Structure 1
């Protein structure tokens, strides 16, 4: 155990998890690589939980941060803030939400917390519909709508949460159905649920469940849900904390895979847009955003420095078509990983879109999740020079792969080869 690890254990909560038997201290990064305190170099396929979205030490972002910090670092939302207004204008346009208003926070948790506040105030209801296997943050309200027991430490809640089927395609009571039948069954479940509730405020859903192991429903499920929700006046909140900004390759936002009935009422974002800076936010049409009848501010949300970073990062992403790169390189990586998985009896499924890929591990010959195998692959991948994440529903048995969106074909091939060796070594 390193000295820093010992010091960490003395002052940190026991529930603050660290990866690896011998935890890493990362000291610096460049492009798609990071280095630890011992000088070891790693190909980064997790990006600080999908947060280093474009690249480590991206010159355009670091330059923007340094220049803004040299002028003014902080002012709060009580003063006009040019970078914040400029970023809000860009996001409002990109969101697809008509007459959009944007409120900035410092994290995805806070963004989802704000979305819940808006929805419950607008609808005068504390009932929330959420998806099974979901994750929406670590605050008291977001924990209470998280459908993943491993990340929900209390049953106490300020909200009444009702859970809906549909977030996991290949497990559960509808797994054997065709996509069309799956959607019909989930819609029938939602209609039945609404018949037994009074006045739900909103359905909150991740288009692809992040912590839940990069699971997703068939395209069109949330469009079908939207038809039912609209009949009851229930809002749709799309949690784009992990799926936003082109990571899925096919779409800029995850909700666009379910776009038949237009954009969501409320969209939340965070993680990658700041490329490591603390940025989150909420987009909603003016009628919903303006429903609060009390004063509110954001002390740190939308700070000049984080907005300067976000503007530079978004500009780089759009100018270099990183969504297209995620589609092209991500498609290649998924195919390579499926080829690798075919040789491993421990792999149940390789799934995902763009540069958001999950490898689900089970005990060979069964459908039983194998978190020990996932932990072993994580260690073996690190030994081979690759950093990945893990997640999943009832156990952390899914390898989570989400490299920066500038990933090259050569780096994708390298990472797939390391994962092949890691699966073999761990299996």
Structure 2
């Protein structure tokens, strides 16, 4: 029996696998490249969903984890002092931009967002949350409730009362075609209308991704979250920045995605890249909000000695190697190359740094074309390049390579992308 057959025999049917009956097993990796079970090598432009942020087989990270393993202590729980956890919390508090910050560690971005919602609702004594359509925040009960993406909403049940704000999507919906200033004005009007009409009493907070990752790398203009914040402040409503995908310099121009908006959030959630594959997430926020939980609570595995050792090594590497600057330089190369393309199936190229989305449409329209997207996605694999896909309509290629990607590797991957898009475009004309 093949590994795929064994997977299907024991795993739930709702767990997606890329490439269907030709699903991929990655068995080794080095730098920005991975090798599958057949011995085929690929340049990785997705990094395990923007998680292998520094790359594969990085000595500094491996050495830090081995050193901790050598002590024989893989776990103690947070009922005991964990030196590496405290050290990592100190570093994250410093880079967060939040004064007098506190840090709580979890195992994932979902848990981080769940925790942030717990803190905000306790601090404000309200279960009302503002969320943005097309956003994704996780798969647990509360985080699924604030996920505005139908494909990932597995239940209509919710512990929260959620009020929805319009997405900043420029191709579809009410914000389509708007200029930056007009979009910000329309978004603020939408927020004021929601607060005036459908909320009841105090609202706990707004949770927002600076760039919607699963939603297809959709983002509003610079200053949008700042414009929201001015209205939120009138009502004492908290701002939660979901930086699970945008943090640690990935956007190039800034260390955190929120910094493009002239605002400091009350709470920041993080995960994915900070562990570079080790399970690590968390929340950093203002002390009075983080301390608002009225009962005892802790995380058995969050920030454990192994993941905290990895996290320290990752953050040190990001800062000492200026990976934010590299993301800006190499990301600009990719974005420029993709934006120069003139093909009928290309609807929009968007993103920042090494977080890029390529949206595909039916020629001559803004109608989503998931079939063309799937074709480009598969052609990329054929050409030796791994990318992701997403978007509300499944018509967006998601590009999020390790932040150590070199310019030569970027050009190599770009060449594969261009060939794949050109082939899919030509095939669409024949069809």
> TM-score scaled to structure 1, two decimals?
0.97
Question: What is the Cα deviation at residue 350 of structure 1?
Answer: 0.5
Q: How does 1:74-89 map to 2 (within 5 A)?
A: 74-89=75-90
Task: Give the aligned partner of residue 350 of structure 1.
Answer: 349
Q: Secondary structure at the match of 2:332?
A: helix
Task: Give the aligned partner of residue 59 of structure 1.
Answer: 59
Query: 2:327, 2:353 within 8 Å by CA — same for their partners in 1?
Result: yes
Task: Give the aligned partner of residue 205 of structure 2.
Answer: 202
Question: What is the Cα deviation at residue 3 of structure 1?
Answer: 0.2
Q: Secondary structure at the match of 2:28?
A: strand
Question: What is the Cα deviation at residue 15 of structure 1?
Answer: 0.5
Task: Give the aligned partner of residue 144 of structure 1.
Answer: 145
Task: Give the aligned partner of residue 217 of structure 2.
Answer: 214
Task: Give the aligned partner of residue 160 of structure 2.
Answer: 159
Q: How does 1:75-114 map to 2 (within 5 A)?
A: 75-114=76-115
Question: What is the Cα deviation at residue 176 of structure 1?
Answer: 2.5
Structure 1 consecutive aligned stretches of length 4 or more whose deviation exceeds 6 Å: none
User: What CA deviation, in whole Å up to 9, does each residue of 1:229-262 have, x standing for no partner?
Assistant: 0000100000000000000000000000012xx4
> TM-score scaled to structure 2, two decimals?
0.96
**Greater Cα offset, 104-113 or 183-192:** 183-192
Q: Which consecutive residues of structure 1, in runs of 5 or more, have no partner in the other structure?
A: none
2:15 equivalent to 1:12: no
Task: Give the aligned partner of residue 266 of structure 2.
Answer: 265
Task: Give the aligned partner of residue 338 of structure 2.
Answer: 337
Query: 2:54, 2:314 within 8 Å by CA — same for their partners in 1?
Result: yes
**Number of residue pairs aligned between Structure 1 and Structure 2:** 421
Q: Which consecutive residues of structure 2, in runs of 5 or more, have no partner in the other structure?
A: 426-431
Task: Give the aligned partner of residue 412 of structure 2.
Answer: 414
State the distance in 2 between where 1:356 and 1:417 align: 18
Question: What is the Cα deviation at residue 18 of structure 1?
Answer: 0.2
State the distance in 1 between where 2:357 and 2:249 align: 17
Task: Give the aligned partner of residue 42 of structure 2.
Answer: 42
Q: Secondary structure at the match of 1:390?
A: strand
**Greater Cα offset, 173-182 or 242-251:** 173-182
Query: 2:280, 2:302 within 8 Å by CA — same for their partners in 1?
Result: yes
Task: Give the aligned partner of residue 231 of structure 2.
Answer: 228
State the distance in 1 between where 2:264 and 2:97 align: 6
RMSD: 0.9
State the distance in 2 between where 1:23 and 1:177 align: 40
State the distance in 1 between where 2:182 and 2:314 align: 41
> Which of 248, 251, 263 pairs up with 2:251?
248
Q: How does 1:283-298 map to 2 (within 5 A)?
A: 283-298=284-299
Query: 1:133, 1:167 within 8 Å by CA — same for their partners in 2?
Result: no
Task: Give the aligned partner of residue 179 of structure 2.
Answer: 178
Q: How does 1:299-338 map to 2 (within 5 A)?
A: 299-338=300-339
User: What CA deviation, in whole Å up to 9, does each residue of 1:368-424 have, x standing for no partner?
Assistant: 11111111111110010000000102x110000010001111101000100111112
